[in-house]
């Protein structure tokens, strides 16, 4: 549990730098002003962005057909894909989503939000977990094509139970942008990794001791290949692969 808290603080520190220099989070952001505790603030940000997306007509028709709780989970997963990996490969987007699935299934990731319900939205918006949720501004998607792609991918990953099984085989729950792995002054917890595999712009890691690192790396890559085929079929010429 201590290592998870340490990872959280590192994520939060990194996010402060990211949001201070990234022009992608500009005028379309929603400013949230609150004196409540962090957990309540995270819940407020989650509720605000979900409501705003509905009001602005930014949710796909196929997603809106879902029951409200499932709709929210798909939209949160799409937001995470959009904010974490839209500039990377599709396989990276799938892998980052599998991390969310695995954290959802792992009770070592306790929820701290005001309403302590275990769902994908709360896993994603839980404090310190993902950079884009930790600033006082919640970014609205401004790239329409990328946002549409993120929703379509999130819906496919969410609706097909095979992806939950593949995520379990993928097994990984942590990732960082690859340059951070070898950066001087990198967070100490990164040096506790027992396996690292690069997918797109991220390095995915295991912190579990006693694993066969080469076998897990091979399995994780095979799983993501299988997941890609499950979503898109055999499309080797797909530009975004």
DSSP H or E segment with residue 174:
strand 174-177
- C-alpha dihedral over 98, 69, 119, 202, to 10 degrees? 30
Give the pLDDT score at 176. 94
Parts of the chain with a pLDDT under 70: 1-38, 114-116, 235-241
CA–CA separation, 81 and 217 (whole Å): 22
Q: DSSP label at 119?
A: S
- Candidates 11, 45, 21; CA nearest to 139 is 45
Q: In the prediction, which pLDDT does 230 show?
A: 97
Q: What percent of the chain has pLDDT over 90?
A: 65
pLDDT at 74 (0 to 100): 98
Nearest C-alpha neighbor of 122 from the set 195, 40, 188, 32:
40
Could you give the 3-state DSSP secondary structure of residue 137?
A: strand
Give the per-residue pLDDT at 201: 97
**CA nearest 93: which of 20, 150, 158?**
150
CA 40 distance to own-chain centroid: 20
Residue 208 CB neighbour total at 10 angstroms: 14
Return d(Cα 17, Cα 57) in angstroms, integer. Answer: 31
CA angle 169, 208, 163 (to 5 degrees): 20
User: What's the confidence (pLDDT) of residue 114?
Assistant: 63
pLDDT value of residue 7: 54
pTM: 0.84
CB-based contact 101:163 (threshold 8 Å) = yes
Hey, which residues does 197 pair with through a beta bridge?
A: 204
């Amino acid at each position: 549990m201590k290592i998870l808290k340490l990872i959280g603080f590192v994520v939060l520190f990194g996010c402060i730098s990211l949001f201070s220099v990234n022009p992608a989070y500009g005028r379309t952001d929603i400013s949230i002003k609150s004196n409540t505790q962090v957990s309540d603030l995270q819940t407020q940000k989650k509720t605000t962005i979900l409501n705003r997306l509905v009001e602005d007509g930014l949710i796909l028709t196929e997603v809106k057909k879902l029951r409200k709780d499932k709709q929210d989970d798909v939209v949160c997963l799409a937001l995470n894909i959009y904010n974490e990996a839209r500039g990377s490969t599709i396989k990276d987007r799938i892998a980052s989503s599998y991390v969310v699935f695995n954290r959802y299934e792992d009770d070592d990731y306790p929820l701290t939000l005001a309403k302590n319900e275990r769902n994908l939205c709360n896993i994603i918006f839980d404090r310190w977990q993902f950079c884009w949720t930790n600033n006082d501004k919640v970014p609205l998607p401004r790239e329409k094509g990328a946002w549409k792609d993120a929703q379509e991918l999130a819906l496919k990953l969410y609706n097909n139970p095979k992806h939950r099984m593949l995520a379990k085989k993928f097994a990984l729950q942590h990732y960082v942008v690859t340059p951070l792995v070898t950066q001087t002054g990198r967070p100490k917890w990164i040096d506790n990794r027992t396996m690292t595999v690069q997918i797109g712009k991220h390095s995915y890691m295991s912190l579990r001791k006693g694993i066969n690192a080469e076998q897990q790396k091979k399995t994780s890559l095979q799983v993501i290949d299988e997941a890609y085929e499950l979503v898109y079929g055999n499309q080797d010429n797909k530009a975004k692969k």
